[in-house]
Amino acid sequence: MIDLHSPSINKDAIGYLRKCVKSGWVSTGGNLINQFEKKIENITGSKYAIACNSGTSALHLSLKLAGVKSKDEVIAPTLTFVASINAILYNSCSPIFMDSDNFYNIDVNKTIEFLKQNTIKKKNFSYNKKTKKRISAILVTHVWGNAANLNKLLKECKKRKINIIEDASESLGTRYKKNKKHTGTLGLLGALSFNANKIITTGSGGMILTNNSKLAKKARYLTTQAKDDPIYFVHNNVGYNYRMSNISAALGLSQLKQLNYFLKRKELIRDFYVSKISKIKNLELAKTPEYSKNNNWLNILKINKKFKYSRNQLINKMIQNNISVRPVWKLNHLQKPFKKFQHYKIKNAIKLVKSSLCLPSSPSLTQKELKKIFLKLSA
């Protein structure tokens, strides 16, 4: 089976893992975690990086650290992995679902339109006219590694005391061309994921990014069970067992040595898909935004209605030929646990889901495998 996105782990990992095991520090303490955090700080330009045991826990805490309160509302895209929305519910808040732009990211223009037409300001905060609840944050996902266009949204949110949290789980290595900033560093906080299917992996793991020293200190405190006195076990707040393990950080350090190679391979794979798929009538590769240098984490096929196979038929055909493809996630405003929550003018996201397919994008893909994928798409 040609996997959708499998991890590429080389022999360097053995050395790091051996060093970790030899030290006896295999759990949530150990110097390799600190080293991994420093490397991520250097790569992203974030002043502080706090390693977590998953991208989901990083998102959960990022929202909490941003000051969302129980019964607040958080604006979020309907087109994102469910973990983004679950993190909102973990904080006892309600999502307001937004549409997508053509790069599968949150529709910034519709979001600003919603804020202007459907909210009122009280004591400098924004409240939903319909529910009377405070909108305290916007959770933005950089989908497929495509950077969301945040300039206008950042300005609007600053006026309304709405914090932007960036779900940069899929976008390690993605930067804006104009200011060279890395995704996850424009908002108050950002979250990365190092799950096995991401551009680098720590097995499971995540990272909180912030330039705010107080929030960074609080993040470290909360991820380690809120220990006020670790000797006498004093805990003055509810904390979480969210810290990354040293053994995960060991794998992460070996993976970071390959990051530039992965990014180059991703670019070559995308170039192959662009050149070949352009020759197939009624198929095209989804475009990436020109305002950013994207990591090309996943390549997305767009299927015209006139193509000889429907999306589902094409999925079945590819899987029968041992090529792993999958549809885009089911939209969250249509998911059973979230149907009761408000959504706003969702149209484009529905079209994108119906017409899109995720293609194999592992950096380890060979030319032989890429040619097979192309031949089965065109047959």
What are the two backbone dihedrals, phi and then psi, of residue 85, each rounded to the nearest 5 degrees? -80, -40
CATH number, position 297? 3.90.1150.10
| Mean pLDDT, rounded, for 11-15 | 94
DSSP annotation of 341? S
Residues 119 and 223 in one domain: yes
* Short-list 165, 190, 160, 144, CA closest to 292: 144
Q: What is the pLDDT of residue 102?
A: 98
* In-domain check, residue 1: no
Average pLDDT over residues 105-122: 97
Residue at 5 is within a domain:
no
> Amino acid letter at 96?
I
- Average of per-residue pLDDT values in the chain: 97
Q: State residue 314's pLDDT score.
A: 97
Q: Is residue 309 part of a domain?
A: yes
Dihedral sign from CA coordinates of 344, 345, 349, 353: positive
Instruction: Examine the domain organization and report whether 172 and 288 are in the same domain.
Output: no
Cβ contacts of 176-183, under 8 Å, gap ≥ 24:
176/147, 176/291, 176/292, 176/293, 177/290, 177/291, 177/292, 177/293, 178/291, 180/45, 181/45, 182/43, 182/44, 182/45, 182/46, 183/142, 183/147, 183/148, 183/292
- Residue 7 domain flag: no
214 and 272 assigned to the same domain: no
CB 362 within 8 A of CB 373: no
User: From start to end of 35-118, where are the E strands?
Assistant: 48-52, 73-77, 94-98
Residue 4 lies in a domain: no
Is residue 241 domain-shared with residue 281, that is, in the same domain? Answer: no
Taking residues 4-16, what's their average pLDDT? Answer: 95
| Residue type at 244 in one-letter notation | M
Which residues, at least 6 apart from 226, have a Cβ–Cβ distance to it below 8 Å?
235, 236, 237, 238, 239, 240
Tell me, what DSSP letter sits at residue 2?
B
Last residue of a domain, one of 208, 231, 256: 256
Q: What is the pLDDT of residue 124?
A: 86
Distance CA 374, CA 58 (A): 37
Amino acid at 363: P
pLDDT one-digit tens code per residue, 259-273: 999 999 999 999 999
Closest C-alpha among 286, 373, 367 to residue 323:
373
Question: What does the DSSP 8-state code read for residue 72?
Answer: -
Do 244 and 297 belong to one domain? no
pLDDT for 148 equals 98
167 and 111 fall within a common domain: yes
Report pLDDT digits (tens) over 302-337.
999 999 999 999 999 999 999 999 999 999 999 999
Same domain, 248 and 374: no
What is the arithmetic mean of pLDDT over 15-40? 96
Task: Let me know if residue 3 belongs to a domain.
Answer: no
* pLDDT band, very low/low/confident/very high, at 233 (cuts 50, 70, 90): very high
Structural domain contains residue 234: yes
- Residue 157: closest CA among 131, 126, 185, 134: 126
Collapsed DSSP state (helix, strand, coil) of residue 218? helix
Confidence of residue 123 (pLDDT cuts 50, 70, 90): confident
- Is residue 363 within 8 Å of 261, Cβ to Cβ? yes
Are 4 and 318 within 8 A, CB to CB? no
* 167-222 pLDDT, tens digit each: 999 999 999 999 999 999 999 999 999 999 999 999 999 999 999 999 999 999 99
Q: What is the CATH number of the domain that holds 148?
A: 3.40.640.10
Range of the domain at 174: 12-256
C-alpha 364/C-alpha 379 separation (Å) is 24
Q: Domain end: 227, 256, 285, which one?
A: 256
Q: Could you give the CA distance from residue 346 to residue 331 in angstroms, rounded to a whole number? A: 10
Number of domains in the chain: 2
End-to-end, the C-alpha distance of the chain in Å comes to 19
Domain closes at, from 256, 273, 288: 256
